[in-house]
Structure 1
Amino acid sequence: MEDAYDVVVVGGGPAGEVVADRLVRSGLTAVVVEAEAVGGECSYRACVPSKALLRPGAAREAARSVDGARQAVAADLDPAHVLTRRDRFTGRGDDTGQADWLKGAGIPLVRGHGRLAGERRVDVTGADGTVRTLRARRAVVLGPGTEPALPPVEGLDRIGVWTNRQATTADAVPERLVVIGGGVVACEMATAWRSLGSSVTLLVRDQALLTGWEPCAGEEVARGLTALGVTVRFGASATRVDRDPATRTVTVETDDGATLACDEVLAAVGRRPRTADLGLETVGLPAGAWLPVDDSCRVTALERDWLYAIGDVNHRAPLTHMAKYQARACAAAITERAAGRPAATGAWQAWSAQADRIAVPQAVFTRPELASVGLTERAAREAGIAVRAVEYRIDDVAGAALHADGYRGFAKLVVDETRGVVVGCTFTGPMATELIHTATVAIVGEVPLERLWHAVPAFPTVSEIWLRLLEAYGL
Structure 2
Amino acid sequence: MTADKTNEYDLIVLGGGPVGENVADRAVQGGLTAIIVESELVGGECSYWACMPSKALLRSAQALRAAQHVAGAKEAVTGALDVRAVFARRDSFTSNWSDDGQVKWLESAHIDLARGHGRLTGEREVTVTDADGGTRVLHARHAVAISTGSDAVVPPIPGLREASPWTSREATSAEELPDSLAVIGGGVVAVEMATAYAALGSTVTLIARSDLLGGMEPFAGERVAAGLRELGVDVRLNTGTSAVRRDDAGVTITLDDDSEITASEVLVATGRSPRSGDIGLETAGLESGTWIEVDDTLRVPGSDWLYAVGDVNGRVLLTHQGKYQARAAGDVIAARAKDEPVDADEWGRHAATADHAAVPQVTFSIPEVGSVGLTEKAARDAGHEVKVVDYDLGWVAGASLYEDGFEGQARLVVDTARDVVLGATFVGPEVAELVQAATIAVVGEVPIKRLWHAVPSYPTVSEVWLRLLEGCGRASA
The one-letter amino acid of 2:90's match is R
The alpha carbon displacement at 1:239 in A equals 1.4
Matched with 1:431 is 430
SS in 2 for 1:188: helix
Matched with 2:469 is 470
Q: What are the superposed Cα offsets for residues 392-420 of structure 1, whole Å, 9 maximum, x if unpaired?
A: 00100000000000100100000000000
Q: Distance in 2 between matches of 1:347 and 1:202?
A: 41
Q: Give yes or no for the alignment of 1:66 onto 2:70.
A: yes
Q: Distance in 2 between matches of 1:346 and 1:27?
A: 23
Q: Distance in 1 between matches of 2:22 and 2:332?
A: 14
1:223 pairs with one of 220, 226, 233: 226
Aligned residue pairs total: 470
Q: Distance in 1 between matches of 2:402 and 2:364?
A: 18
Identify if the C-alpha distance between structure 1 residues 190 and 318 changes in structure 2 by more than 3 Å, giving closer, same or farther.
same
The TM-score, its normalising length taken from structure 2, stands at 0.97
Matched with 1:446 is 445
Q: Give yes or no for the alignment of 1:57 onto 2:56.
A: no
Q: What are the superposed Cα offsets for residues 323-354 of structure 1, whole Å, 9 maximum, x if unpaired?
A: 11100000111111111135252232211111
Q: Give yes or no for the alignment of 1:239 onto 2:242.
A: yes
The alpha carbon displacement at 1:92 in A equals 2.6
Q: Distance in 2 between matches of 1:203 and 1:152?
A: 16
| Contact persistence 1:147–1:272 (CA under 8 A) | yes
Matched with 1:108 is 112
The alpha carbon displacement at 1:228 in A equals 0.5
Q: Distance in 1 between matches of 2:359 and 2:426?
A: 14
Q: Give yes or no for the alignment of 1:396 onto 2:395.
A: yes
The alpha carbon displacement at 1:381 in A equals 0.3
The alpha carbon displacement at 1:368 in A equals 0.2
Identify if the C-alpha distance between structure 1 residues 111 and 258 changes in structure 2 by more than 3 Å, giving closer, same or farther.
same
The alpha carbon displacement at 1:152 in A equals 1.7
SS in 1 for 2:94: helix
| Contact persistence 1:2–1:132 (CA under 8 A) | no
SS in 2 for 1:32: strand
SS in 2 for 1:194: helix
The one-letter amino acid of 1:446's match is E
Q: Distance in 2 between matches of 1:216 and 1:415?
A: 18
Q: What are the superposed Cα offsets for residues 249-278 of structure 1, whole Å, 9 maximum, x if unpaired?
A: 111111111111111000000000011111
The one-letter amino acid of 2:231's match is L
* Unpaired segments ≥5 residues, structure 1: none
The one-letter amino acid of 2:328's match is A
SS in 1 for 2:86: helix
The one-letter amino acid of 2:257's match is D
The one-letter amino acid of 2:344's match is T
The alpha carbon displacement at 1:64 in A equals 0.5
The TM-score, its normalising length taken from structure 1, stands at 0.97
Matched with 2:42 is 38
Identify if the C-alpha distance between structure 1 residues 6 and 390 changes in structure 2 by more than 3 Å, giving closer, same or farther.
same
Matched with 1:16 is 20
The alpha carbon displacement at 1:141 in A equals 0.4
Q: Distance in 2 between matches of 1:11 and 1:299?
A: 17
After the TM superposition, which parts of structure 1 deviate over 3 Å for at least 4 consecutive aligned residues? none
The alpha carbon displacement at 1:463 in A equals 0.2
Residue identity (%): 55
- How large is the Cα RMSD of the aligned pairs? 1.1
Matched with 2:80 is 76
Q: Distance in 2 between matches of 1:326 and 1:455?
A: 29
The one-letter amino acid of 1:180's match is I
Q: Distance in 1 between matches of 2:50 and 2:314?
A: 18
Matched with 1:87 is 91
* Unpaired segments ≥5 residues, structure 2: none
SS in 2 for 1:399: helix
Identify if the C-alpha distance between structure 1 residues 23 and 215 changes in structure 2 by more than 3 Å, giving closer, same or farther.
same
Greater CA drift, 5-14 or 350-359: 350-359
Q: Give yes or no for the alignment of 1:178 onto 2:177.
A: no
Q: Distance in 2 between matches of 1:189 and 1:213?
A: 18
Q: What are the superposed Cα offsets for residues 352-402 of structure 1, whole Å, 9 maximum, x if unpaired?
A: 111111210000100000000000000000000011100000100000000
